[in-house]
């Protein structure tokens, strides 16, 4: 008599319960991630001393974008909510930081604590806006959610023009930022200081997202993405989970926007238009949706691609008219083309391609 | 009161264009379950072609025909050369490829024609015809309404009265069964994209003269408004697209007339939220079977 072993079906839920790697991981997730942050901090410290101010500025911009892409890849990749409006959430953070910093400097109450307080306010305002959108988003699916977030992406110039007294319409605001602390020496370049601020913010947001993803909330995010009914049956409050994902992701976007305002020392609505929102989404897809390394690749591409194309066109010595037309357009054309090719050839993005490469190498040797 | 009447007629002709554009989105959604985010960019390409040709030839009609043929070719090309090869493991893939196409097309148009606004000539008098001393609408508005109404009637006839329309509906509804019954599903999909692109191209040619003119990003806000219209009506319903288009057109006209043009994006968002929070699938959404 044979007994047939009944194996549980590989439903989305059981995929979640079964760990991806065999064998339990030892130790605390938080400690492991903190160790990574410490290693990265040391590396960044030495790198920022080794490179010139312009590279430090680029590094800071990458870090600012990384804050946003980390949150967005969690929302879209792990929770399955498509957002085309994260540029507007960045604008929330950026304008809050600008207003707060200028208010502090007007009243002469500046100190080491002023910038963190402004950034925290920026995160708070963006998270509140994210909560509002998230509550609506929890009722919507697929293209309907895309439509609402697309409309969100377009409202930034409307607000800055309507409340021109506060936001100064299309010109935008300049942001007062303290110079680097005197303790760092007299000739400490401001770009290096900005890079430290930006990287600090990026590390914070990566740490929060990475821990959240590895917690029961992260598992709930994925369960809701894969099968809402099954998640509901497993006792997960679907709407609450979706709103939580949106709020955290919006907070990260607010932090990234605030840091961007600090780096560029100005905010204007044209920076936070639809193109930025779309670029953010495209960057996380190109990097590898749902992976934090993918978010890092995406942030890097957002800065490197325009820079490299400008360098190349400058090297070609074109006529001024043509160069003027290519400026700004060529990076977008290349970005679009890259995106289409990557989606057709390797839909998992850069990070997935690396993973596949790693698997192949391991199998060979 | 006079202002209200004027804004109503203005809203109706804007709404007619949004309705046509929304109809194009609904066509592709029903045929392929894809929201074609590249619709606006494709309409920009055909509009540039149309106005360049009509400037060179000196005839608006020739330009209009160029837009029709260009839309047909571009739509077929995008489906046959690109969208067909996108993997469907993740519904996001189609969206991303369409967004990539948006970046590529607008950038290429910008590289060829430059980023400045170009005038788009109107074939008809834009002065309003007065009835009883009240300015109502221009000849161009009448032209818009006539064209959109023709499109809607032709599409309705195509889908309800012809064999090709039946095949297209069958291919969208049950691809496997239709394939067994001898319908070339792939060709129907290409045809659906081509038709939608024609409708989008016509809508683009119609609305550009009433706005600021030709610009690589001229259709961005039109796309957003039309997408809102399609969603308000319900993406599965062609009737909903037309009704949604008229609603969105009227509201945008009143908002920009009474509160200022800068606020129209906020109005789009407000309309979307107001409708979707009451009916998350749009006004004309049917009852959907629950899938587990």
What pLDDT, in 10s, does the model give residues B56-80? Answer: 888 888 999 999 999 999 999 999 9
The answer to whether the CB atoms of A330 and B106 lie below 8 A apart is no
For residue B7, the tally of other CB atoms under 10 A from its CB is 18
Alpha helices by DSSP H, listed for A138-237, are 142-154, 156-162, 164-167, 190-213, 216-226, 228-233
B289 phi/psi in degrees, rounded to 5: -70, 140
Of A358, A132, A175, the closest CA to residue A262 belongs to: A175
Cβ-Cβ contacts under 8 Å, B95 against chain A:
82, 146
**Helix A238-264 × helix A86-106 angle, to 10°:** 50
The answer to whether the CB atoms of A325 and B110 lie below 8 A apart is yes
Residue A310's pLDDT is 81
Chain B closest-CA separation from residue A239 CA (Å): 14
Alpha helices by DSSP H, listed for chain A, are 12-17, 29-50, 53-73, 86-106, 114-137, 142-154, 156-162, 164-167, 190-213, 216-226, 228-233, 238-264, 274-287, 292-315, 320-326, 329-345, 349-364
Nearest to A344 among B86, B92, B290 (CB): B86
Is residue A266 within 8 Å of residue A172, measured between CB atoms? Answer: yes
Residue B129's pLDDT is 74
Chain B closest-CA separation from residue A345 CA (Å): 9
B217 phi/psi in degrees, rounded to 5: -105, 20
Letter string b/e over residues B168-202, b meaning 16 or more CB atoms within 10 A of that residue's CB = bbbbbeeeeebeeeebebeebbbbbbbbbbbbbbb
Residue A22's pLDDT is 47
The answer, for B41 touching chain A at a CB cutoff of 8 Å, is no
Cβ-Cβ contacts under 8 Å, B227 against chain A:
147, 150
Q: Which two tokens stand for residue A3?
A: 């007994």
Chain B closest-CA separation from residue A104 CA (Å): 31
The answer to whether the CB atoms of A162 and B111 lie below 8 A apart is no
The answer to whether the CB atoms of B269 and A147 lie below 8 A apart is no
Cβ-Cβ contacts under 8 Å, B222 against chain A:
none
Chain A closest-CA separation from residue B61 CA (Å): 30
Residue A349's pLDDT is 86
Closest residue on chain B to A322 (Cα) = B111
How many CA atoms does the CB half-sphere of A355 hold within 13 Å? 12
The answer to whether the CB atoms of A162 and B265 lie below 8 A apart is no
Nearest to B89 among A144, A274, A347 (CB): A347
Nearest to A142 among B91, B105, B114 (CB): B91
Nearest to B224 among A143, A151, A278 (CB): A151
pLDDT over threshold 50, residue B289: yes
Helix or strand or coil: residue A85?
coil
pLDDT tens digits along A108-148: 876 778 899 999 999 999 999 999 999 988 888 888 898 89
Chain B closest-CA separation from residue A32 CA (Å): 32
Closest residue on chain A to B115 (Cα) = A325
The proportion of chain B whose per-residue pLDDT surpasses 70, expressed as a percent, equals: 96
**Which of A184-193, B257-266, B280-289 is the least confident region?**
B280-289
Chain B closest-CA separation from residue A175 CA (Å): 25
Compute the distance between CA of residue A100 and CA of residue A121 in angstroms, rounded to an integer. 8
The pTM score is: 0.86
The answer, for B218 touching chain A at a CB cutoff of 8 Å, is no
Residue A26's pLDDT is 62
The answer, for B165 touching chain A at a CB cutoff of 8 Å, is no
Closest residue on chain A to B232 (Cα) = A144
Chain B closest-CA separation from residue A290 CA (Å): 12
The answer to whether the CB atoms of A326 and B111 lie below 8 A apart is yes
Closest residue on chain A to B92 (Cα) = A82
pLDDT tens digits along B113-161: 887 888 777 777 667 777 766 777 788 888 999 999 999 999 999 999 9
Chain A closest-CA separation from residue B45 CA (Å): 14
pLDDT tens digits along B85-119: 987 777 788 888 998 999 899 999 998 888 788 87
Closest residue on chain B to A81 (Cα) = B92
Is residue B162 within 8 Å of residue B155, measured between CB atoms? Answer: no
Closest residue on chain A to B86 (Cα) = A344
Nearest to B272 among A147, A278, A328 (CB): A147
Chain B closest-CA separation from residue A140 CA (Å): 6
Question: Between residues 81 and 120 of chain B, which touch chain A (CB distance below 8 Å)?
Answer: 82, 85-87, 89-93, 95-97, 99-108, 110-112, 114-115
Domain ranges in chain B are 2-218
Mean residue pLDDT across chain B: 88
Cβ-Cβ contacts under 8 Å, A157 against chain B:
262, 265
pLDDT over threshold 90, residue B286: no
Residues in chain A, pLDDT under 70: 1-26, 110
A266 phi/psi in degrees, rounded to 5: -160, 155
pLDDT tens digits along B3-20: 888 889 889 999 999 999
Q: Nearest 5 degrees, angle CA B20-CA B225-CA A129? A: 155
Closest residue on chain B to A169 (Cα) = B262
Q: Which residue has the tokens 């839909």?
A: A347
Nearest to B100 among A274, A330, A336 (CB): A336
Question: Between residues 182 and 201 of chain B, which touch chain A (CB distance below 8 Å)?
Answer: none
């Amino acid at each position: 008599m044979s007994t047939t072993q009944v194996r549980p079906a590989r439903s989305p839920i059981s995929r979640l319960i079964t760990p991806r790697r065999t064998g339990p991981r030892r130790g605390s997730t938080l400690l492991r991630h903190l160790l990574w942050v410490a290693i990265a901090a040391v590396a960044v410290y030495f790198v920022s001393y080794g490179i010139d101010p312009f590279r430090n500025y680029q590094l800071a911009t990458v870090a600012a974008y990384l804050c946003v892409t980390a949150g967005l890849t969690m929302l879209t990749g792990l929770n399955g909510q498509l957002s085309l409006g994260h540029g507007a959430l960045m604008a929330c953070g950026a304008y809050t930081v600008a207003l707060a910093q200028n208010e502090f400097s007007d009243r002469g109450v500046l100190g080491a604590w002023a910038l963190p307080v402004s950034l925290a306010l920026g995160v708070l305002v963006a998270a509140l806006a994210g909560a509002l959108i998230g509550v609506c988003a929890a009722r919507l699916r697929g293209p309907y959610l895309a439509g609402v977030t697309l409309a969100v992406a377009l409202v930034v110039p409307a607000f800055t023009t309507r409340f021109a007294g506060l936001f100064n319409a299309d010109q935008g605001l300049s942001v007062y930022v303290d110079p680097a602390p005197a303790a760092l020496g007299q000739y400490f370049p401001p770009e290096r200081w900005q890079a430290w601020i930006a990287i600090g913010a990026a590390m914070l947001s990566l740490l929060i997202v990475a821990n959240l993803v590895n917690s029961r909330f992260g598992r709930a995010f994925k369960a809701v993405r894969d099968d809402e009914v099954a998640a509901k049956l497993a006792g997960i409050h679907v709407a609450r989970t979706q709103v939580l994902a949106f709020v955290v992701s919006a907070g990260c976007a607010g932090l990234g926007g605030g840091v961007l305002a600090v780096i560029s020392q100005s905010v204007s609505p044209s920076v936070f238009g639809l193109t930025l929102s779309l670029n953010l989404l495209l960057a996380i897809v190109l990097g590898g949706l749902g992976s934090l390394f993918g978010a890092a690749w995406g942030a890097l591409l957002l800065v490197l691609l325009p820079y490299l194309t400008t360098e190349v066109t400058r090297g070609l010595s074109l006529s001024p008219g043509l160069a003027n037309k290519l400026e700004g357009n060529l990076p977008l054309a290349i970005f679009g083309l890259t995106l289409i090719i990557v989606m057709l050839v390797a839909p998992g993005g850069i990070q997935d391609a690396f993973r596949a490469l790693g698997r192949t190498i391991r199998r060979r040797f | 009161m006079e202002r209200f009447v004027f804004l109503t007629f203005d809203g109706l002709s804007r709404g007619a264009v949004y309705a046509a554009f929304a109809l194009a989105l609904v066509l592709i959604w029903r045929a392929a379950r894809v929201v074609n985010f590249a619709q606006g960019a494709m309409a920009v390409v055909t509009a540039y072609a149309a106005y360049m040709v009509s400037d060179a030839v000196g005839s608006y009609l020739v330009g209009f025909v160029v837009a029709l043929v260009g839309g047909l070719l571009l739509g077929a090309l995008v489906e046959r050369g690109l969208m067909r090869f996108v993997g469907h493991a993740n519904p996001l893939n189609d969206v991303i490829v369409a967004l990539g196409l948006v970046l590529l097309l607008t950038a290429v148009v910008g590289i060829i024609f430059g980023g400045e606004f170009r005038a788009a000539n109107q074939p008809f008098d834009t002065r309003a015809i007065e009835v009883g001393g009240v300015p109502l609408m221009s000849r161009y508005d009448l032209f818009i309404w006539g064209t959109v109404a023709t499109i809607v009637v032709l599409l309705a006839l195509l889908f309800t009265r012809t064999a090709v329309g039946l095949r297209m509906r069958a291919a969208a509804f049950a691809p496997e069964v239709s394939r067994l019954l001898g319908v070339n599903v792939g060709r129907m999909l290409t045809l659906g994209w081509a038709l939608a692109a024609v409708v989008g191209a016509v809508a683009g040619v119609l609305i550009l003269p009433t706005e600021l003119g030709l610009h690589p990003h001229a259709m961005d806000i039109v796309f957003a408004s039309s997408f809102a219209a399609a969603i308000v009506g319900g993406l599965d319903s062609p009737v909903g697209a037309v009704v949604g288009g008229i609603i969105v057109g009227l509201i945008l006209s009143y908002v920009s007339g009474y509160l200022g043009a800068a606020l129209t994006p906020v109005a789009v968002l407000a309309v979307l939220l107001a409708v979707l929070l009451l009916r998350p699938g749009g006004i004309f959404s049917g009852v959907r079977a629950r899938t587990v």
